[in-house]
Amino acid sequence: MNVSFQGKRALVTGGNKGIGFAIVQGLLAKGFDVILTARSQDKAKAAIEQLQSSNISALELDVSDDNSIDLAAKNLSQEIDSLDVLINNAGIYPDQRVNILTVSRELLNQTMNVNAFGAVRVTQAFLPLLMKSVAARVINTSSGYGQLSGLSAEAPTYCLSKLTLNGVTIMLAKALQTKGIVVNALDPGWVKTDMGSGVAPRTPEQGADTAIWLATDAPSNLSGKLFHERREVSY
Ligand SMILES: NC(=O)c1ccc[n+]([C@@H]2O[C@H](COP(=O)([O-])OP(=O)(O)OC[C@H]3O[C@@H](n4cnc5c(N)ncnc54)[C@H](OP(=O)(O)O)[C@@H]3O)[C@@H](O)[C@H]2O)c1
């Protein structure tokens, strides 16, 4: 445990499984107090029971639902007075048997709402708490599929949503620069999770590593950037 992070608070969306759960574990190990959020209170509570830590709390937060986001921010602000790290990790990959020539508007809306617009609305809602931290950090879990060189016609809504999330990262970084809040994105690589499948080469811990580094040890003069394996990569 690193004493410099003791007493600091981090919130992770989609923290109940996969990369989000590994990020939660990594931040706890660093000494953070962690708010693990999930689409339902039951899922959040079931996840924190596996961790057996007194430094973790559960919060219901559906990133596609403004009422859920606003209620979560309101409830949390009654419990704590500042937030140091926000990790927008929740995501979906619903592109089965569709491509850019066949995808529906409905599926485009659904994925953009969760993967891209969710990060915008969650950041807006928790901004009052983030602004009370002396050096807050916002971290967006993006993907190589969101890089210009990674766009695939076979994963249309996912690629567009992560491309947009990268744009969101740049814009949030600009908007929050004067407030001293650093905003970055990461590509975790292809990770063995429900989304990444069992044949993916990387473990959730490996996928979480860059997010944890961005939350803790990454230079604070880097903002609005995309990282993979702790190195800046091009959008
Ligand atoms: N796995 C990979 O290879 C890979 C590669 C690049 C990027 N990523 C990104 O990494 C992040 C985590 O993915 P993962 O691989 O850990 O996938 P995962 O195991 O499927 O976990 C996704 C998490 O997001 C949550 N989520 C989905 N929709 C949500 C919503 N509307 N509100 C709140 N939470 C929601 C899920 O909750 P439920 O349990 O309720 O479904 C779950 O906790 C995602 O942003 C993903 O795009 C993953």
The residues with which 83 forms a beta bridge, in sequence order, are none
- As separate numbers, helices (DSSP H) first and strands (DSSP E) second, the chain gives 7, 8
For residue 4, what pLDDT is reported?
A: 76
pLDDT tens for each residue of 24-75: 999 999 999 999 999 999 999 999 999 989 999 999 999 999 999 999 999 9
Task: For Cα atoms 188, 19, 78, give the angle at the middle one, nearest 5 degrees.
Answer: 120
Ligand 1 atom nearest to 158, measured from its CA: 47
Q: Which two tokens stand for residue 92?
A: 């979906």
pLDDT for res 1: 59
Query: Could you tell me whether strands 231-233 and 226-228 are parallel, antiparallel, or unpaired per DSSP bridges?
Result: antiparallel
**Which residues form ligand 1's pocket by a CB distance below 6 Å?**
13-14, 16-20, 38-39, 43, 62-64, 89-92, 114, 141, 143, 188, 190-191, 193-196, 200
pLDDT (tens digit per residue) in 16-33: 999 999 999 999 999 999
For ligand 1, atom 33: residue with the closest CA: 62
Q: What is the pLDDT of residue 110?
A: 98
CATH level 2 (architecture), domain 3-233: 3-Layer(aba) Sandwich (3.40)
**83 alpha carbon to ligand 1 midpoint, in Å?**
22
For atom 37 of ligand 1, the residue with the nearest CA is 14
Known catalytic membership, residue 158 = yes
Domain ranges of the chain: 3-233
Q: Each residue's pLDDT tens digit in the chain (235 positions)?
A: 566 799 999 999 999 999 999 999 999 999 999 999 999 999 999 999 999 899 999 999 999 999 999 999 999 999 999 999 999 999 999 999 999 999 999 999 999 999 999 999 999 999 999 999 999 999 999 999 999 999 999 999 999 999 999 999 999 999 999 999 999 999 999 999 999 999 999 999 999 999 999 999 999 999 999 999 999 999 9
Q: Annotated catalytic, 162?
A: yes
Q: Is the pTM above the cut of 0.95?
A: yes
Rounded Cα distance between 76 and 8, Å, is 15
The pLDDT value recorded for residue 64 is: 98
DSSP-H helix ranges across the chain: 18-30, 41-49, 66-79, 105-111, 118-130, 156-176, 204-216
The catalytic residue among 8, 30, 162, 192 is 162
pLDDT at position 133, please? Answer: 98
